[in-house]
Structure 1
Amino acid sequence: MTTPRLSTPRRHERTRVAIDVTVNGVLNFVEGRITDLSEGGAQIVGASMPARSRCEIHYGGQLVYAVVMWSEVDRMGVRFPYELTHGPLYNALERARAAAMINPAQIFHSQRPVAFGRRGLS
């Protein structure tokens, strides 16, 4: 009988993103897309490497080292041994978090005409 694995709370907030990256494993380069990102790790769809293997993530001229924590046929979860604190990938994370904080109603109201009908267009 296996014992259930107790999950520990994450140190960093995960953010939904769509960032195309190249993942360099021991033997190959694989194109993938980060769909979930935090300062401590990411989920990469379209790339898969064995669990516990090491890889490099290339994005915007930046190289980020990672360790594969889990792997499925078409995706994997990686942990960054060095937290993201700067660089293009961190900037993309910050932009995604800022965009997620915008209320959709704010976008609608900012694009709404000030007046109704022809009277307001003079």
Structure 2
Amino acid sequence: MTTPRLPLPRRHERTRVAIDVTVNGVLNFVEGRITDLSEGGARIDGASMPARSRCEIHYGGQVVYAVVMWSEVDRMGVRFPYELTHGPLYNALDRARVAALIDPAQIFHGRRTVTFGRRGLN
């Protein structure tokens, strides 16, 4: 009798993003959007390739290699054999994590000029 394997906890924190990318499979280029990203993998909506296939993710002049772990009709989850440590995709992940820490009201408050009234009269 074998005991069921429990899923291992994720090593990296996933972050919600919206990054348009091009995914290169064996025979085609597919446009997609990364909606969930970490140093170890991503979820790509709008693109689908067979599970266990290899692909390249093109973003900002960088190519990131990935393996499709699961696939549905309109989305897939990929794992990066080499963790993200630098480059445009890592920078986008870093920016998204910093933005998630800032309260949304503070983002707009910092950009507003100090004026009086609706027309900005001083």
TM over 0.5: yes
How has the CA–CA distance of structure 1 residues 72 and 103 changed in structure 2, closer, same or farther, with 3 Å as cutoff? Answer: same
Q: Percent identity?
A: 88
Counterparts of 1:117 and 1:52 in 2: how far apart (Å)?
60
2:63 corresponding residue in structure 1 = 63
1:100 corresponding residue in structure 2 = 100
Letter in 2 for 1:23: V
Counterparts of 1:32 and 1:109 in 2: how far apart (Å)?
33
**Any idea what the Cα deviations from partners look like across 1:8-36, whole Å, max 9, x if unmatched?**
11000101111111101111111100000
TM-score (norm 1): 0.86
Gaps of 5+ in 2: none
Post-superposition offset of 1:107: 2.8
Counterparts of 2:115 and 2:28 in 1: how far apart (Å)?
59
Counterparts of 2:66 and 2:112 in 1: how far apart (Å)?
45
Counterparts of 2:108 and 2:21 in 1: how far apart (Å)?
32
* Number of aligned residues: 119
Report SS of the residue matched to 1:83.
coil
How has the CA–CA distance of structure 1 residues 44 and 117 changed in structure 2, closer, same or farther, with 3 Å as cutoff? Answer: closer
Counterparts of 1:61 and 1:115 in 2: how far apart (Å)?
42
Post-superposition offset of 1:110: 3.1
Counterparts of 1:6-85 in structure 2, within 5 Å, are 6-85=6-85
How has the CA–CA distance of structure 1 residues 5 and 47 changed in structure 2, closer, same or farther, with 3 Å as cutoff? Answer: farther
How has the CA–CA distance of structure 1 residues 79 and 109 changed in structure 2, closer, same or farther, with 3 Å as cutoff? Answer: same
Post-superposition offset of 1:104: 1.9
Gaps of 5+ in 1: none
Task: Give me the CA root mean square deviation.
Answer: 2.2
TM-score (norm 2): 0.86
- Divergent runs of 4+, >6 A: none
